[in-house]
Structures are given as structure tokens and as C-alpha cells.
């Protein structure tokens, strides 16, 4: 089974404070769900600056939870939209984020105690 994420960095940062972890996870889900929605709307409009803006907002969250399957895709999306290069690759990157992020959101909900 593929590991979706690893919260060890969050546990270490917080001194294993479950209240902090719960708050972090709630914000992760809330904020990134909104950024993903905004990014999809921008993608439909081919508003590359906004796609980049949203990807840039999502990127640190993905890195800190070590969602390894999304690390390179979010970096690529951020770069391609920002430079308006490799635009033909953006639909598959968006598809990957739209598939995997909701799965991660649901799994993280189960981590909140």
C-alpha cells in the first residue's frame, strides 16, 4: 500500500501536541480544499497566473506532510503555469491533484482526534 503522507515532521514541530496537530490538519484541509477549487476555476479559464498562485499556496502544505506522490506534480504545476511553459502537461497534473488531494483530505480527517 502506498503511503499518502507522513505527519512525523508535524509531530516533531509540535512536540507531539495533539491539539496543535488537530488545528494544523483542520487548516490544511480547509485552506487547500479552497485553493484546489480556485485552481480548478483558474485552469478552466486558462488563467495561468492564478493557477500558479494557487499551486504556490498548496506547495508548502504538501511538502510539510510529505505527500511524496504530489511533491513533483505541484512543483511542476507551479513552474509550468508561472512560466506558461509545458501547458499541455497541466491537465494531467490537475487531474492528479484532483484525484489525490481529496483522498488525503479524507485520510487526514481520520487523524483528527
CATH number of the domain within which 21 lies: 1.20.120
What is the average pLDDT score of the chain? Answer: 96
Residue 52 lies in a domain: yes
Q: Is the pLDDT of residue 80 over 90?
A: yes
Q: Provide the pLDDT confidence category of residue 1 given band limits of 50, 70 and 90.
A: low
Its domain, for residue 16, covers 8-111
Half-sphere exposure of 42 (CA within 13 A, CB side): 20
Calculate mean pLDDT across residues 9-28: 96
For residue 35, tell me if it sits in a domain.
yes
What 3-state DSSP class applies to 65? coil
Classify residue 3: in a domain, yes or no. Answer: no
Q: Is the CB of residue 54 less than 8 Å from the CB of residue 36?
A: yes
| 31 grid coordinates | 485552506
Count, residues in the chain: 113
pLDDT tens-digit map of 19-69:
999 999 999 999 999 999 999 999 999 999 999 999 999 999 999 999 999
Q: What is the pTM of this model?
A: 0.93
Domain count, the chain: 1
Buried b or exposed e, range 24-50, using 16+ CB within 10 angstroms: bbeebbeebeebbebbeebbeeebbeb
Amino acid at each position: 500500500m502506498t503511503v499518502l503522507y507522513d505527519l512525523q515532521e508535524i509531530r516533531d514541530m509540535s512536540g507531539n501536541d495533539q491539539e496543535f496537530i488537530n488545528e494544523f490538519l483542520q487548516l490544511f484541509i480547509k485552506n487547500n480544499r479552497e485553493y484546489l477549487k480556485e485552481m480548478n476555476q483558474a485552469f478552466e479559464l486558462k488563467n495561468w497566473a492564478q493557477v500558479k498562485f494557487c499551486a504556490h499556496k498548496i506547495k508548502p502544505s504538501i511538502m510539510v506532510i510529505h505527500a511524496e506522490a504530489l511533491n513533483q506534480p505541484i512543483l511542476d504545476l507551479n513552474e509550468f503555469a508561472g512560466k506558461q511553459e509545458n501547458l499541455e502537461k497541466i491537465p494531467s497534473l490537475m487531474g492528479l491533484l484532483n484525484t489525490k488531494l481529496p483522498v488525503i483530505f479524507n485520510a487526514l480527517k481520520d487523524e483528527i482526534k
